[in-house]
Structure 1
Amino acid sequence: MREAQRVCRRRRHHGRRRRGYRQGGPPGLGLRRQLFDEGHQIKAILRRGEKKSLQTDRVVLVPGHGEEIATFHRIYTLFLEQRMPERVIASTLNREADKAA
């Protein structure tokens, strides 16, 4: 009996993921959480700390603001194409943010 319940929960979980529904945790850089109702109509963009109010609502990840997406692409380029270590990327971005402030 327990095994059948476990298999059922796993199928339900994988079905939600296959449809693109978000299971939890903060979105990555350059992404936002978008709330849909059960009829697949967009309700809102959820801000940090906001939660869905209805159990039937669903959350999917969508592209964020252009500035965040550009930062993500820059990190990707520095790391993969220029082989820059993470700590160097972080210090470079922090130094640039200090200059801009």
Structure 2
Amino acid sequence: MNKMKIIGITACTAGIAHTYMAQSALQDAARKAGYDCKIETQGAMGAENELSAADIADADVVIIGADIGIEGRDRFEGKPIYETSVSSCVTDPKKIVSEAIKLI
């Protein structure tokens, strides 16, 4: 059986520290739970660690941790999406991953 695959986007209003803290926290929590995870950041530097078409096609669920509008949301059409704030991703990433997996 293949590992469950989680993708997502993090974006905070300043687009600096919290965007990357949320990315790291989600990826760590997902890996500890036994899932593959790739998180794109959208911040002051633009989009980084961009999700490829293959990443999106292979994903089981999408997590959007954002306090601002994100670009490219239409890429996830047809995928279950769990939306939350950046601060929730930083403070309780394990819960966010668990709740997102329940959407599958």
TM-score w.r.t. structure 1 length? 0.24
TM-score w.r.t. structure 2 length? 0.23
Which structure has more RCO (C-alpha within 8 Å, separation ≥ 6)? Answer: 2
Q: Write 1 or 2 for the structure with the bigger share of strand.
A: 2
Q: Write 1 or 2 for the structure with the bigger share of helix.
A: 1
